[in-house]
Structure 1
């Protein structure tokens, strides 16, 4: 697991090579505000090799935040992350490793009959109950999440991960009430509190696509205030103290998907807040939760000239469109780290170099939306 000494030691290796606030507080130490994601790519040996090389290069170059999930690339992404960590010339304790559980993973390739695969691999052995499934592919019962965590540790070849996310809990809203989903999250958090106490996870979080950025009356909306309340209850129930391990939220954020900053859709953490609802980013900042952005350059769509509106583009530092788009995400108040996935070494270098430019200050970022 990452340690304070090793995380700060990693940061100190690079001295002043990066811009101000490139390394930001996370967990016991600091983490790079550019992280490498592992979502995209076909489940093939060729992509495995390219991904492994890209992750190793990122780790050598100033990126000490790697994000993956049990289901990414049919389970191959976690194996590749583990191989890259073992091959890279640095201590595992200097890297924040995050993974996710929720979607039922395939085993190396997409089966010809996914429904039969789920039935044979998950339902019949009793790993999941059919009633716990949403869209035939998602579950978040404590037993399933613990099963998923154990398999993730095996694929990664690690004793522990630094952050384990409950993956897209809003998926469950397709088959059960919002209240039932909150209850399920609390039960999941209690299981993760026990695994935190056992030393298998450093912290846990919630990774979403829609839940925290859509309108309050949206079908896939979840309240950050209620999610935090359920984590507090889980921490109190498990003990030995009343602390809790909910440390991070992950959500999409970029210049074309800025809802997490612009939409006021969450009750403020402070009691009696006279200003009414706040944005997801504001809530997280006030509550002390780290925010990790996914789709930080729109999965490549914002890496071309003209994709970022000219008036916004002109305010951002960076030599390329991808760097400026990434620096927009890194500039948002409350953001800890922005993920970018790539299997191209040149793109890794380009993304890392974005961190040599200073992000916008809070006032300048606010001005973008005036």
Structure 2
């Protein structure tokens, strides 16, 4: 697993090559504020090869954060990540590996009959109770998460995953009410607290697309204050002193800034505030997802920091905003916008080609916006 001594040694390996805030605290040590994502791409051997080369390039040139999931590229992504970590000239304890579970994964390729595959591999096999299934493809029940974590550890070929996300819990809102989904998260967190105590994960998080950046009256909304409360309760049930909820993953970029602008998350008693301040005092109004995470010390990992490729072209970033950002290319400036936001520990970027990774690494040689300059973008 990633360690304090290992990740600090990774940082020191690059001296003063990167900007002052390129490496940021996470878990027991530090992590690069640009991370490698593995979501996009066809489930083919050729794409595997490109990903492997790109991941090795990133690990050897200054990125020590890799994000993946059991379902990405039909299960191939985790296997390639594990291969790249072993191939790169970087020790395992220098690399922060994040994975996630929620969407039922295929095994290497998309089956001709996905419904039959799910029925035979998950329902008939007893891995998933039909009552826990949403959209025919999503489950966050404790037993399922346990099985997927074991699968991820095996696919990655590691003893510990540094951050393990409950993926897309808002999908469950299609089949049950919000209170029931919070109950599901509480049960999931309890299972993950036990795996954390066993050393199988370093910590856990929640990865979402909509839940934390939409208004409170939106059908997909989940309140971070209640999510955090469920993590604290789970830790109490397991008998550990502090909860293991470490991270939130959500989309954030210059065109998709809802996590900064939409105030939809409670503070005060629900969020566990105390006399020292913490998550705000009683009577505070709702805050944005980024503000909530900043107050509570939760790390935010920005998905879609390049708008899934939409922000890499000239003119894609609004002129007045782009003028404030450092970088030699639109892609670098877009990454540096995401890295500038409060509570954002790292901006995740796709890494299917080595040349794209090199450009992303170079973004870290520039400093992001300061707090005042970032705020001024929204005035």
TM-score, length-normalised on structure 1?
0.99
SS of residue paired to 1:265: strand
Please name the residue that 2:260 is paired with: 261
CA displacement at 1:275 relative to structure 2: 4.3
* Runs of 5+ consecutive residues of structure 1 not aligned to the other structure: none
2:308 is equivalent to residue 309 of structure 1: no
Listed as ranges, the gaps of 5+ residues in structure 2 are 272-278
Q: For 1:305 and 1:298, locate their aligned partners in 2 and report how far apart those are by CA, in whole Å.
A: 14
Matched, 1:289 2:312: no
Partner of 2:17: 17
Structure 2 match to 1:349: 358
Listed one character per residue, the Cα deviations across residues 303-340 of structure 1 (whole Å, up to 9, x for unaligned) are: 00011001111110000000001100001111001100
Inter-CA distance 322–271: structure 2 relative to 1 (3 Å threshold) = closer
SS of alignment partner, residue 15 of structure 2: coil
Shift, 1:342, TM fit: 2.3
Q: Does the Cα contact within 8 Å between 1:247 and 1:290 map onto a contact in 2?
A: yes
Query: Where does structure 1 differ by over 6 angstroms across 4 or more consecutive aligned residues?
Result: none
Aligned to 2:327, which of 310, 318, 322?
318
Residue deviations 1:168-222, cap 9 Å, x none? Answer: 0001000001000000000000000000000000000000000000000000000
Instruction: Supply the distance in 2 between the matched residues of 1:8 and 1:147 (Cα, whole angstroms).
Output: 32
2:248 maps to what in 1?
A: 249
Partner Cα separation in structure 2 for residue 37 and residue 228 of structure 1? 25
In 2, distance between residues paired with 1:155 and 1:273?
46
Q: Secondary structure at the match of 1:165?
A: strand
Partner of 1:168: 168
Q: Provide the alpha-carbon RMSD of the alignment.
A: 0.8
Q: C-alpha separation between the residues in 2 aligned to 1:336 and 1:330?
A: 7
Alignment partner of 1:278 is 2:277? no
* 1:49 Cα deviation after fit: 0.2
Quote the Cα distance in structure 2 between the aligned partners of 1:271 and 1:279.
Answer: 13
CA distance in 2, matches of 1:32, 1:320: 20
SS state at 2:287 partner: coil
TM-score by length of 2: 0.96
Match of residue 99 from structure 1: 99
Q: How far apart in 1 are the matches of 2:321 and 2:89?
A: 39
- 1: distance between equivalents of 2:191 and 2:372? 41
2:343 alignment counterpart: 334
For residue 143 of structure 1, report the CA deviation from its aligned partner: 0.1
What is the deviation of 1:345? 1.2
3-state SS of the aligned residue for 1:155? Answer: helix
User: What is aligned with 1:35?
Assistant: 35
How far apart are 1:271 and its partner, in Å?
A: 5.0
Q: Please say if residues 232 and 242 of structure 1, whose CA atoms lie closer than 8 Å, have aligned partners that are also in contact.
A: no
